[in-house]
Structure 1
Amino acid sequence: LYRHLEMLENLVPNSNKPGARLWIDVIFFRVSAMLSYNQDMDLNVEQPIPSIGVTVPGQTHLKIGGTIDYAIVATESRKYESFIQTSQFQYVKRQNPNPLFITKAKQEGVTLRNHIPQAVARMFASAKYRVRKEIARGTVTNGHEWIFIILYINQGGIGGTYATSPTIKIQVSERYPFRVISPGPDIIAGTLFFVPS
């Protein structure tokens, strides 16, 4: 994990979204290696969310939808083949798997906290679409900084509350060749491992 992140830090600028995604990919690959022998992780990239209607008290009926940058499902190995063959939310909804973990990727230099409302709206939409999910989990990240979000959906599916973690940063040495400093990547991978499994 550290060697791969250090290679990226010394090779790839993280100033745009594709650069940030390389860091995110490495972390998710580490998480997939941490799963137990009878589990597999399905990592969907650019997962569309069908629009759902939401009633906002005192306002009109709103539509929420869009695209999730990453959607993760940890499932039993015997069910994995059917998940990997289709990334459609309709199938995921029918199977009602373990919690879906949603990530919204941003490039470095963007204030991540400003994007929490957008991430929460998409988490809400995916949880509502999938039915029977009262808790949605997700993160907003640029690869170097991660904010974890947990959304509690009210009974009846109207509204909810959410909480966020402090920003967890992957620290890097100041001079070239850059070195990734422990424990940031371990904390992030450990948190991601705990959530979808």
Structure 2
Amino acid sequence: MAKKRKISGLSGIELMQACTALKRLRSSLVEEEEEEEEETVDQVQDNLPDSLKDMISKLESRLSGPQTLNFSRVDAETLKRLNIVQQRGLIIKSGAEERSEKSKLIGKDELWSSTNMQLHLALLDKLVSKENEATCRAWIDTFFFRASAMVDPGKSMVLNMEQVIPATAISPTSMATISGFTDYAAVVTESRAAAVYRKVPRVETARLHETGFFVTEAKKGPLYDHVPQAVCQLYASGKQLEKDTIRGALTNGHEWMFIILSFNKDGNGASYKYSIPLEYRKTRTPNEETPEQSSPDVIACILLEWIQKSFQDLDTDDWFEEIAKSGSLAK
């Protein structure tokens, strides 16, 4: 038999819905009693509206107290309430293909060499369906594995899946919190610190050992629909890590959208930028390069650099640049 769910286990939205429904019920019962000419209900029924009033008061008390928001419930309106605003978009710089050529030699004798990455992606395209979010991870894993093979000697990458982000106050003056988990968290750091994080893959460990913390959310379908959730995960992670800037990505495995979030100096809210989604090309065509399509090597290189610079703002050596004021980030 299914257990009854306690009021204390309801989310803020569910509490609000329950409170609204009870108010409607009580109102309808009161109206019915007023319309009846004779008293036809017993004492329990007579007291029912008052009992509902007590329950409504309790629910309203809960709603007026500290609220907890889960990442899965975030939308564009949530970002407005959190004072998180979008800035100009990012576009990949020209010459990215040439820049990535050198990376092909890095880790060429490793399991996840550039050649093996290409072969693995080709196999996935033939073998694995793209119908749900779970299968997207086969492609996402491939890019992370290739990035790990390019890490400098003396350093290591650690990849944690379904990383828990503890309850985080949304602002210095608010008791409301936000929490949940993100699909991937990646760090690149000195090998000994990486070993510590591998054993204790918590946000607190990343903060203490300055490992970096690159948040990646995996979603099926159009990426733009999931930007608010990814941004909110970065917001909560950055607050937990006590950083001014944090980088991350939103991907379905075939398209990658890179996001950078910077906190307001007063700690109340933030601003973010995101790139035009980069879709990897299945075949390499000489001299072919567009803002929307890149070789798998380019995406793997960007992924590695952004993991290593996860707490830094954009600089002149970055793979991306801001779109000019006259431009727009078209969907």
- TM-score calculated relative to the size of structure 1: 0.87
Measured after TM superposition, the shift of residue 160 of structure 1 is 1.1
Note if 1:137 corresponds to 2:253: no
| Residues 149 and 163, structure 1, Cα contact 8 Å, conserved in 2 | yes
Equivalent-residue separation in structure 1 for 2:228 and 2:175 (angstroms): 18
Equivalent-residue separation in structure 1 for 2:278 and 2:222 (angstroms): 13
Greater helix content:
2
2:297 counterpart (175, 179, 186): 186
Partner of 2:149, secondary structure, is helix
1:75-154 equivalences in 2 (<5 Å): 75-98=189-212, 100-107=213-220, 110-131=221-242, 133-154=243-264
Greater strand content:
1
Unaligned runs of 5+ in 1: 172-179
1:1-197 equivalences in 2 (<5 Å): 1-55=117-171, 62-98=176-212, 100-107=213-220, 110-131=221-242, 133-171=243-281, 180-182=282-284, 183-197=294-308
Measured after TM superposition, the shift of residue 56 of structure 1 is 9.9
Structure 1 segments, 4+ long, off by >6 Å, are none
C-alpha deviations, 1:31-90, integer Å up to 9, x for none? Answer: 000111111001000001011121499xx7542111110001101113222111111222
Comparing 136-145 and 154-163, the one that deviates more: 154-163
Task: Give 2:191's aligned amino acid.
Answer: S
| Residues 194 and 211, structure 2, Cα contact 8 Å, conserved in 1 | no
Task: Give 1:103's aligned amino acid.
Answer: T
Identity of aligned residues (%): 38
C-alpha deviations, 1:112-158, integer Å up to 9, x for none? Answer: 11111111111010110111x11111111000011100001111322
Equivalent-residue separation in structure 1 for 2:155 and 2:233 (angstroms): 26
Q: How big is the alpha-carbon RMSD for the aligned residues of Structure 1 and Structure 2?
A: 1.7
Unaligned runs of 5+ in 2: 1-116, 285-293, 309-331
Match of 1:175 in 2: none
Task: Give 1:3's aligned amino acid.
Answer: L
C-alpha deviations, 1:81-112, integer Å up to 9, x for none? Answer: 211111122222222223x11100012xx221
| Residues 135 and 153, structure 1, Cα contact 8 Å, conserved in 2 | yes
